Structure 1
Amino acid sequence: MKLPQLAVCAALALVSFLPVPSRAADKITVTDITGRTVEVKAPVNKVILGEGRQVYFVAALDTETPFKRVVGWRDDFEKADLDGYKDYLAKYPEIAKLPTFGGSKEGTFDIEQAVALAPDVMIMNVEAKTATDDAKLTEKLAKVGIPVVFVDFRDKPFENTEPSMRLIGKLFGKEAKAEEFIAFRKEQIDRVTERLAKANPAKPVVMMERAGGYTDDCCMSFGNENFGKMVEIAGGINMAGKIIPGTFGVVNPEQVIAANPDQVIVTGSNWELYVPGGAWVGVGSGADEAKARDKLAALMKRPAYTGVKAVQNRQVHAIWHQFYNSPYQFVAIQQIAKWLHPELFKDLDPDQTMKTLYERFLPVAYKPGYWVSLTDKE
């Protein structure tokens, strides 16, 4: 449910009259991803998620009851991952009644609503920090005893995923579960990197298209982080690595044609609530793989891919976009490695890895559909 947003001035007026909670003996000091030291009463009982998709890591730690601490969240989970949201909704119908927020980046975060929910902590993604700082949101929330911590699974996931999971584990009193997850993640990445180090195969050039078909424009891509980094770890060369200076950016169709990549990988998800009937490739939990494959083939008819050998050789794939914003990136690395080096990784089963992730750490049932390839259809 979406509660009405009140003016910030009204929220600040309320703040000035609310008492600041005194320090409790069970408060701990943690250091978040930005290097801020924050005092938090732990283990926390009530949490606001600054992004709904943070449920990806919450569920991996609070597997039995993933929403027991969540008193509010941003309204993006259903919109950005409709299939995943439906999985959780079916098992936990109460999430439909959780208070939702707009984004701090859009300036629609409701401070008074947060105060009313009285959380022990609010967890924010690091990409929201600039907007949060501009709005002095952390200071305003601190005045009413609501600490804010920042995590990151998106901007620099291969630097910040492990410390982010450890931070959440400490806040939740789930340190052992966090370490178990971290060890599993490392083990699965090592299955790729160790074999690549021994074999040292030639590296194919890969065009990673971010959210292909989400808009009419082409082509959003990745620099040397996120999916760009996943390509490198999986034994490929990220085509846009020397073009895009940051984590995210754009390459023009002429640059794709000139690079003539060996492989094309498009990220996709069920974005029906964002772009109804769009050209995006709807991979994800329980996706219709035949439909997704047809939409992927249609994207390759755009001018950027004219004459490109990846298209001519059908080395074109789509993968779940939300790997880019969750601690599950290790599964994407395995699947990309299998696409880039099929003989070297012929015995690697990323689908089984994803299934094991669900069985060991997540509370909902696994449904395949997180990737498709044009090579699957002769």
Structure 2
Amino acid sequence: MFIFKKVAFAATISLALFSADVMAGETVTITDITGREVEVSVPVERVILGEGRQIYFVAALDTEAPFKRVVGWRDDFRKADLDGYNEYLETFPQMDDIPTFGGMKDGTFNLEQAIELNPDVIIMNTEAKSATQESGYIEKLAKVGIPLVYIDFREKPIAHTDQSMRIIGKLLGKEARAEDFVEFRQQQMARVTDVLDKVENLEKPLVFVERAGGYSDDCCMSFGNENFGKMVEMAGGENMAGDIIPGTFGTVNPEQIIASDPDQIVITGANWENYVPSGNWVGLGAGADNAESERKLKVLMQRPAFTGVKAVKDGNVHGIWHQFYNSPYQFIAVQQLAKWLHPDLFQELDPSQTFADLHEKFLPVEYRPGYFASLNPAQ
């Protein structure tokens, strides 16, 4: 646990309070995704991102200069999405100089360093709430006038994405931009749900989603009725792990997969070379090598958990970018899942083009294919 150095802490309090007086804007009360009411002076100019991958939503709003407000961020972007990190680094080399932090959940977040950076707000994901409460960080930050706001794109992303984007829009003074994003997201999601709603007695294939397949030798992490589990349901499928995993995340044993005999298998993956060098993970993401992704999928299907499974025999094995599970872009995943599960219903739907349109409208980098792979030659 972090121990304050009294002299430095007192000096930092004075600095933070002085800066707050000088830089004060309109003070508003924001209700964050957990229902907490937080007073924040907006628009904020100095932001600490509790996770580096939160740049996914910052970039959609501060598109011209996504790093202009970021004074610190967690060190996970390079590790969790190396291809995406390098893509942004090409256009914004200054991002490599932003101070980094450890995680709140694993106890490596440096509170003193965060205070010294004098942020107007710290944005955290909801899964960090328990750790921040137990450590008393919220109260310690409040003493120096630094608000902490929770958003969520991971625990219940389908339900919380629109609200989270609106919260961030308010913080950044980009409310109209946030509404444009929400409208685009809703329109693209409706391209799936509107079609499925019109189908009577829809046959829903049984889908097993393996979370981060090949990241370790263990098998098999998956999703309950939230996150990718919910995306499968929205795409017209039945999530195999829905009745097995009580929460958002959990594990399914190999015998359960064989006994359930899923119709479709989806593996999430990204470039995790900085986490597990030369691992069997499927390195999906910006500019990924499709042939290599398909090779990795074939390797993963040789594990005992998938012996004789219908999806493997029929070639209905797919790979999808892992970071859809932790970004406001999950509607792209819903479109791709729908196309895999119901190809006859969605012949005209092109998720890659939708993602390219998202990049053109909202993101500061160009779209590079590589987010999807399949062992089904027709898909």
**Which residue pairs with 1:8 in the alignment?**
2
Q: After the TM superposition, which residues 205-224 of structure 1 pair with which residues of structure 2 at under 5 Å, given as runs?
A: 205-224=206-225
Amino acid in the other structure paired with 2:279 = G
**Which residue pairs with 2:68 in the alignment?**
68
| Alpha-carbon distance between aligned partners in 2 of 1:376 and 1:227, rounded to the nearest angstrom | 24
Amino acid in the other structure paired with 2:203 = A
| Alpha-carbon distance between aligned partners in 2 of 1:12 and 1:267, rounded to the nearest angstrom | 46
Amino acid in the other structure paired with 2:275 = Y
| Alpha-carbon distance between aligned partners in 1 of 2:26 and 2:320, rounded to the nearest angstrom | 43
Q: After the TM superposition, which residues 120-159 of structure 1 pair with which residues of structure 2 at under 5 Å, given as runs?
A: 120-159=120-159
Name segments (4+ residues, structure 1) moved above 4 Å.
22-25
Q: Does 1:310 align with 2:316?
A: no
Secondary structure in 1 matching 2:204: coil
**Which residue pairs with 2:83 in the alignment?**
83
Shift, 1:10, TM fit: 3.1
**Which residue pairs with 1:55 in the alignment?**
55
Amino acid in the other structure paired with 1:158 = I
**Structure 2: unaligned runs, 5 residues or longer:** none
Amino acid in the other structure paired with 1:354 = F
For the 8 Å contact 1:268–1:320, the answer to whether it is kept is yes
Scaled by the length of structure 1, what TM-score is found? 0.96
**Which residue pairs with 1:115 in the alignment?**
115
- CA separation of 1:337/1:25 partners in 2, compared to 1, >3 Å: closer, same or farther? closer
Q: Deviations over 1:331-363 (max 9, x none)?
A: 000000000000110110001000000000000
**Structure 1: unaligned runs, 5 residues or longer:** 1-6
Q: Deviations over 1:253-286 (max 9, x none)?
A: 0000000000000000000000000000001000
**Which residue pairs with 2:103 in the alignment?**
103
Shift, 1:15, TM fit: 2.9
For the 8 Å contact 1:15–1:143, the answer to whether it is kept is no
| Alpha-carbon distance between aligned partners in 2 of 1:176 and 1:354, rounded to the nearest angstrom | 21
**Which residue pairs with 1:4 in the alignment?**
none
For the 8 Å contact 2:25–2:42, the answer to whether it is kept is no
- CA separation of 1:174/1:307 partners in 2, compared to 1, >3 Å: closer, same or farther? same
- Calculate percent identity across the aligned residue pairs: 63
**Which residue pairs with 1:192 in the alignment?**
192
For the 8 Å contact 2:26–2:41, the answer to whether it is kept is yes
Secondary structure in 1 matching 2:48: strand
Q: After the TM superposition, which residues 195-274 of structure 1 pair with which residues of structure 2 at under 5 Å, given as runs?
A: 195-200=195-200, 201-274=202-275
Secondary structure in 1 matching 2:198: helix
Amino acid in the other structure paired with 1:258 = A
**Which residue pairs with 1:301 in the alignment?**
302
| Alpha-carbon distance between aligned partners in 2 of 1:155 and 1:139, rounded to the nearest angstrom | 24
| Alpha-carbon distance between aligned partners in 1 of 2:27 and 2:338, rounded to the nearest angstrom | 44
| Alpha-carbon distance between aligned partners in 1 of 2:340 and 2:95, rounded to the nearest angstrom | 37
Shift, 1:12, TM fit: 5.7
| Alpha-carbon distance between aligned partners in 1 of 2:25 and 2:283, rounded to the nearest angstrom | 49
Secondary structure in 1 matching 2:208: strand
- Tell which deviates more after alignment, 232-241 or 133-142: 133-142
| Alpha-carbon distance between aligned partners in 2 of 1:149 and 1:141, rounded to the nearest angstrom | 12
| Alpha-carbon distance between aligned partners in 2 of 1:124 and 1:75, rounded to the nearest angstrom | 14
- CA separation of 1:83/1:12 partners in 2, compared to 1, >3 Å: closer, same or farther? farther
**Which residue pairs with 2:168 in the alignment?**
168
For the 8 Å contact 1:11–1:111, the answer to whether it is kept is no
- CA separation of 1:375/1:118 partners in 2, compared to 1, >3 Å: closer, same or farther? same
* CA-atom RMSD in angstroms: 1.4
Shift, 1:101, TM fit: 0.3
For the 8 Å contact 2:220–2:251, the answer to whether it is kept is yes
Q: Does 1:339 align with 2:333?
A: no
- Tell which deviates more after alignment, 111-120 or 242-251: 111-120
For the 8 Å contact 1:48–1:73, the answer to whether it is kept is yes
- CA separation of 1:147/1:252 partners in 2, compared to 1, >3 Å: closer, same or farther? same
**Which residue pairs with 1:183 in the alignment?**
183
Q: Deviations over 1:48-91 (max 9, x none)?
A: 00000000000000011101100000000000000000010000
| Alpha-carbon distance between aligned partners in 2 of 1:26 and 1:163, rounded to the nearest angstrom | 21
| Alpha-carbon distance between aligned partners in 1 of 2:286 and 2:309, rounded to the nearest angstrom | 30
Scaled by the length of structure 2, what TM-score is found? 0.96
Secondary structure in 2 matching 1:224: coil
| Alpha-carbon distance between aligned partners in 2 of 1:11 and 1:259, rounded to the nearest angstrom | 56
- Tell which deviates more after alignment, 106-115 or 118-127: 106-115
